[in-house]
Amino acid sequence: MANFFKDNDDIQFLLMHMDLGTLARTVEEDFRFAAEFESAPVDEADAVENYRLVLDSLGRLSGDFIAPRAESVDREGNTLNSDGSVSYAKGIAESLEKLAQAQVMGFTLPHRFGGLNFPNVIYSAAIEIVSRADASLMNIFGLQGIAETINAFADEPIKQRYLHDFSAGKVTGAMVLTEPDAGSDLQSVKLRAFKDANDRWFLHGVKRFITNGCGEVLLVLARSEPDRGGGLGLSLFVCDRGPTVHIRRLEDKLGIHGSPTCEIFFDNTPCEIIGERQRGLVTYVMSLMNGARIGIAAQSMGIAEAAFRVARDYAASRAQFGVPIEKLPAVRDMVIDMKLAIEAGRALLYETSRVVDREIGCMKAVENPPQDKELAKQLKNDSRKYKRCAGMLTPMSKYYCSEMCNRVTYDSIQVLGGSGFMRDYPVERHARDARITTIYEGTSQLQIVAAVRGVCSGTAENLMAEYAEQSYTPEVHDLLERLAEGRELLKKGVAFVKDNGNDYMDLYGRALVDVAIDLINGYLLCRQASTNVEMQVQTAEPGVAIPMRQRKAQMARRYILRNAPKIEALVDMVCAGDKSTFTAYEVLAGPVPTD
């Protein structure tokens, strides 16, 4: 029986390597819920065991049930019926039913709504596991952030109306944000929210590119202040799918065919406001999208893992020139680089999820601060620190993991050669599914704009300084010296950018963010190489196993030494001062095509 949790040594290692007990204590608020809810853990060991049991169950469901249906889901797609309803592909409908039965549709919701109250780290692992089985299913399973947003910002009656059904898997939702003329620029949203004479809210207008827009519960960003442009004129609303919500079309897409992408017309649809007026974009949607970006990073991990496994098997079994193609240096390099990129991405994603969990825990604690003034002050400082780190790491994770996913699926096709281009193997589907990950929930370019602010403000340096103070095995001390050299180069690049203004920072933001990510990942891999976890892992040589820390040390060495020249080259490019993008665009880009 396939199990997409048990067969992944790296996920299992990371969950042992990380301090899940402390995270459990944070999200369970010192396990105070155990007295009220039978499902709530009583201590750290109970919580961690529960995490593993749920991931094990989800891993079996993903391997045995969801993955075998993915190909037929891709070919069948969704159907817009004549009455305006949408029918999922058969495999999607069946998988959603199984996920509801497994009680995993309320991963991070509180116990009082029937949720699991799990930390984001575990939810990220779950999304990766499901995405490896079927990336398009994740687009529905991974929309649990809608319920989280309702829980975080809505009034209690709204929470009671919707959240129990979300946890039970009775309803799915949609983030209804973008419009024909408002994609990345959500400040331009025009869909109108208005009140009638009885002080009831209604929605009128069109939304486009809405993932699972046929869901039962819709979170809608709308302009509630007709006389005010920009983000401060927007509020967030919730409405039910009903007779005034019309699905006008389903988009015909390159990939993720099992996920319905809808154009919706709201014809004076009754709704309720979430939280306060004018905070829809600035507060609520930004929170929603940050969670969604971590979800896309996890989805990217699952797609990359699935594609790599096909390529790894093919490289070992396909013979050319009298030997398996994995004996050829060029193929070996590709296989190793894919594997290393995946593990680096997973390290970054799980660290980001951990920081977000700590940020949420500190925010809750600040609401009820301790009596001791020094402790209260430290709590506030920690809250600010984790907020800054989460604000930088979230776009970094989304950017790195989605770009990595596209490279890995591309290279997986290359390893398979002509066979990879055919539908006989799933890598062409993985490549099509991967392509959207660098686009939705904010393009890679927008993630860089967000992340580079953290790099240039000192957040990245402060985080790495904290990493550098941790304890490491002597085996990686020389690597830490290389990372320290890289940090000095990054400081040089940041100083040059600051001297040349914001436009220059945006122009070379990608280079700076790439350097920062390579350094952060380097520290994370060195920490993994210094782990206390006793775990043996198999090598490709039959019957030969080595300690995971030994394997991670080799991974860290290759990653850091291979990236060191790249870091130097990127900083040299930043400091070269080339502004031809601004000064010679018309000449270099040429005229707009007229045909």
Give the model's confidence band at 34: pLDDT under 50 very low, under 70 low, under 90 confident, else very high. very high
Residues 410 and 311 in one domain: yes
- Residue type present at position 103: Q
- The residue out of 224, 249, 281 marking a domain boundary is 281
pLDDT at residue 182 tops 90: no
Q: Return the structure tokens found at 136.
A: 């398009």
Global confidence as pTM: 0.97
Here the CATH number for the domain that contains residue 537 is 1.20.120.470
Residue 445 lies in a domain: no
Predicted pLDDT at 180: 93
Here the CATH number for the domain that contains residue 268 is 2.40.110.10
Give the model's confidence band at 278: pLDDT under 50 very low, under 70 low, under 90 confident, else very high. very high
Residue 585: left if φ>0, alpha if ψ -120 to 50, beta else—which one?
A: alpha
pLDDT at residue 114 tops 90: yes
Contact 347, 528 (CB under 8 A): yes
pLDDT at residue 369 tops 90: no
Q: Return the structure tokens found at 578.
A: 């080339």
Looking at residues 212-224, what average pLDDT do you find? Answer: 97
pLDDT at residue 426 tops 90: yes
Considering the chain, what percentage of its residues have pLDDT values greater than 90?
96
Lowest mean pLDDT among 31-40, 238-247, 343-352, 369-378: 369-378
3-state helix, strand, coil in the chain (%, to 5): 65, 10, 25
Measured CA to CA in angstroms, residue 486 lies from 255, 258, 310, 517, 518 at distances of 38, 43, 35, 11, 9
Per-residue three-class SS string for 216-263: CEEEEEEECCCCCCCHHHEEEEEEECCCCEEEEEECCCCCCCCCCEEE
Mean pLDDT of the residues in the chain: 97
Structural domain range at position 341: 9-168+282-437
From CA 120, how far away is CA 27, in angstroms rounded? 10
Residue 115 DSSP class:
-
**Could you give the angle at the alpha carbon of 252 between the alpha carbons of 251 and 255, nearest 5°?**
110
Looking at residues 318-329, what average pLDDT do you find? Answer: 96
Residues 76 and 216 in one domain: no
Residues 316 and 268 in one domain: no
Residue 593 lies in a domain: no
- The residue out of 220, 252, 281 marking a domain boundary is 281
Residues 293 and 424 in one domain: yes
Residues 24 and 85 in one domain: yes
Residue 587 lies in a domain: no
What is the number of domains present in the chain? 3
